Structure 1
Amino acid sequence: MNIEVRLCPKEQSFILHNLYPLYLHDIAEIWGIHPNRYGVFEKGDVPTLSEQSKLLDVWWEQPSVLFPYLITVDDVAAGFALVSTPPQVPSANIQYYLSDFFVLRTYRRQGVARRAAELVFDQFQGAWELQTNPTERNMSTQIFWRKTLNTYTGGKYSELDGVHPEKGEMLVFRFTNK
């Protein structure tokens, strides 16, 4: 199985646009989110997936600040990772923020997500942060990040309770890979 992570160019952004509604559907259960009146998992009255897709375009508008990565397995789209840098990070003293990370269910529990996360982290050296839902509904993700970060950092990461300006209470993981 060949797992790769690469920046997704604008001309291939449609691939991330295709994956994004699947991601939102997956996290809806964790966050207790319901679709809007049009059946779209999005805040407000976004009526179509096409309209929702336009909200992702910001990831190709700031190429020195926002980094949309496509995760592939044997050249097939398997997920994505969205990495932001200042000023688009939620915490001070953080150089890289893993804003969103998603691997399709088809590729889970095969080491794809762990390897993809390592490859994403290897793209940038410095102070990293990622956040996830702190509730019992999200235990598998919490366990995944603890195990992945423990292996990647040799146990040199921190875990603390925090608050995201938009999402509220979060479990925050920080590490440095310099």
Structure 2
Amino acid sequence: MHDFSAAKDELADLLHKVRITRIPATEKITLAHLMQLYRYDLSEFNDDALDASGQFAKYPYFDDYWTDPNRHPFWINLDQQLVGFALVRELNVDQYAIAEFFVLRKYRWLGIGKRAAFHLFRTFSAEWHVAQQAGNIPGQIFWRKVIADYTNGHYQEGFSEHQPTGPKQSFRVNG
């Protein structure tokens, strides 16, 4: 029993070290590299293919995250270690969406993604929309659980006809 208690305490300490920070334009190349890993993970659920140079196509809105005031790029860090990223988009006044969200496989299932998502939701008190590709069952499971935990089950689920096409959860975060 003691080992379980120690592991639980260690995990709690670890989760207190999760941080989100804005990605400066000087670190765009690092994000571009992580986007390749992200696109690889998602290729299981879509028709993305490598180009002749062995890379996935550049994310279509990549540069907009440093020129469009309605787009917000964030690193997900565990203490000082980079473990993922989140791209947030302001859809309308007081309405935000998770555009892209990625945690390196090594750090999944530890609660890091959940903690990072909670930080994002608190950063923007607004109505949130989080959609997943129809075939991305692991992503759907993750977001339903995270959003249900964050909202105590007070969210709506519908279907997004826009990218990504699939389930979409909507909820409000108040200051």
How does the TM-score come out when normalised to structure 1? 0.82
Deviations 1:50-90 (A, max 9, x none): xx37962221112x211001101121111111011135xxx
Amino acid at match of 1:159: E
* Corresponding residue of 1:56: 62
Aligned identity (percent) is 31
* Corresponding residue of 2:99: 99
Q: Which 5+ residue runs of structure 1 have no aligned equivalent?
A: 43-51, 88-92
Please tell me whether the aligned partners of residues 73 and 88 of structure 2 are also in contact (alpha carbons under 8 angstroms).
yes
Please tell me whether the aligned partners of residues 3 and 74 of structure 1 are also in contact (alpha carbons under 8 angstroms).
yes
Cα deviation for residue 39 of structure 1 reads: 2.3
How does the TM-score come out when normalised to structure 2? 0.83
Please tell me whether the aligned partners of residues 48 and 56 of structure 2 are also in contact (alpha carbons under 8 angstroms).
yes
* Corresponding residue of 2:7: none
The alignment covers a number of residue pairs equal to 159
Cα deviation for residue 155 of structure 1 reads: 0.5
1:1-178 matched pairs, under 5 angstroms: 1=14, 2-42=17-57, 52=58, 56-62=62-68, 64-86=69-91, 95-135=95-135, 138-164=136-162, 166-167=163-164, 169-178=165-174
Determine the C-alpha separation between the residues in 1 that align with 2:40 and 2:28. 19
Question: RMSD between aligned alpha carbons?
Answer: 1.9
Deviations 1:116-139 (A, max 9, x none): 11111111001110110122xx22
Amino acid at match of 1:33: D
Q: Which 5+ residue runs of structure 2 have no aligned equivalent?
A: 1-13
Please tell me whether the aligned partners of residues 80 and 102 of structure 1 are also in contact (alpha carbons under 8 angstroms).
yes
Deviations 1:14-50 (A, max 9, x none): 32122110000000111142223332222xxxxxxxx
Q: How has the CA–CA distance of structure 1 residues 171 and 94 changed in structure 2, closer, same or farther, with 3 Å as cutoff?
A: farther
